[in-house]
Amino acid sequence: MSTPLHAVSAAPVGDFALRCSGLQRYLGQGDGRVHVLKGVSFEARRGQVYAIVGPSGCGKSTLLYLLGLLDQPDGGDIEINGQRMSNSDDFARTAARGAHIGFVFQFHFLMLEFTALENVMMPMRKLGRLTAPEMEARARMLLDAVGLGAKTHRLGTQLSGGEQQRVAVARALANQPSIILADEPTGNLDVKNSTLVFDLLTRLAKDNGQAVILVTHNPEIAQRCDVTRPMRDGLFV
């Protein structure tokens, strides 16, 4: 891969990029109210790749939304790069999302009316650290890295599910976040592409000192991660 991917400030490996402790989350109303997360504690170091595994419905996505500051816990603490986020306001959480977190959703990936390139550039536009040509160059480079260099100008609607997922991965990397949260990023991919995406994520973690946390049902992938955390019924086991 060409230099820009590696040119990031190499943060000291071993620091905690993300910590959470005693996370509680209830979902649903009234009788349907479910205790989904029952006190989850977790920490992720820079430069490490973590796999969260577990049966469907055990609360993996719910945990990832909390860690990605997309949802608020009913109890417990979340720390992003040493900063406590669990009781900060929407503005601070939004800013932290933009600067520190790259998120890949489990199901919906792209803004379909936009091209792959525009999708990848969108987080950079908001952050505003790069000039327009720099953003475009970086977006092209990232799309190249996920094997979509030839389809940068396709609209979201003109891409397959797996291709959309890879664009979403590229987009999560756009702002060089210190934490990458990916909910089954290889779920829709064939062996070749899931290896491609996984290799990319691992290499980034190593080279840039990013913490990668991914949810996966694929044992092979889980096995290749630095740490695997099995989850059951809202708790790590």
Return residues touching other proteins (CB under 8 A).
27, 61, 65-66, 68, 70-72, 90-91, 94-95, 97-99, 101, 103, 105, 107-108, 110-111, 122-123, 126-127, 171, 175
C-beta separation of 35 from 26 below 8 A: yes
Q: Which of other proteins, ligand ATP, Mg ion, none is residue 155 near (CB under 5 to 8 Å by kind)?
A: none
Q: Of 58 and 225, which CB lies nearer to Mg ion in the complex structure?
A: 58
β-strands 211-215, 101-104: how paired? unpaired
219 part of the interface to ligand ATP, by CB under 6 A:
no
* Closest distance to other proteins from the beta carbon of 13 (Å): 25
Selected binder of ligand ATP within 59, 68, 156, 177 (CB under 6 A):
59
CB of 193 within 8 A of CB of 160?
A: no
Q: Which two tokens stand for residue 17?
A: 């990029």
Member of 45, 46, 60, 93 binding ligand ATP (CB under 6 A): 60
Q: Which is nearer to ligand ATP, 4 or 28 (CB)?
A: 28
Q: Which residues 9-48 are close enough to bind ligand ATP by CB under 6 A?
A: 27-28, 32, 34, 36
Q: Is the dihedral of CA 78, 80, 82, 88 positive or negative?
A: negative
- Cβ distance to other proteins smaller for residue 11 or 27: 27
Rounded-to-integer distance, Cα 171 and Cα 180, Å: 11
Site size toward Mg ion (CB under 5 A) is 2
Residue 11's SS3 state is coil
Q: Which residues make beta-bridge pairs with 50?
A: 213, 227
- What phi and psi, each to the nearest 5 degrees, are found at residue 73? -75, 155
Find which of ligand ATP, other proteins, Mg ion, none residue 34 binds, CB within 5 to 8 Å per kind: ligand ATP
Q: Give the helix ranges, DSSP H, for 30-131.
A: 60-67, 90-100, 116-127
Q: Is 229 near ligand ATP (CB under 6 A)?
A: no
CB 76 within 8 A of CB 122: no
| Residue 177 near residue 100 (C-beta atoms within 8 A) | yes
Binding to Mg ion in span 95-114, by CB under 5 A: 106
Binding site for Mg ion (CB under 5 A): 61, 106
| Site for ligand ATP, rule CB under 6 A | 27-28, 32, 34, 36, 56-62, 106
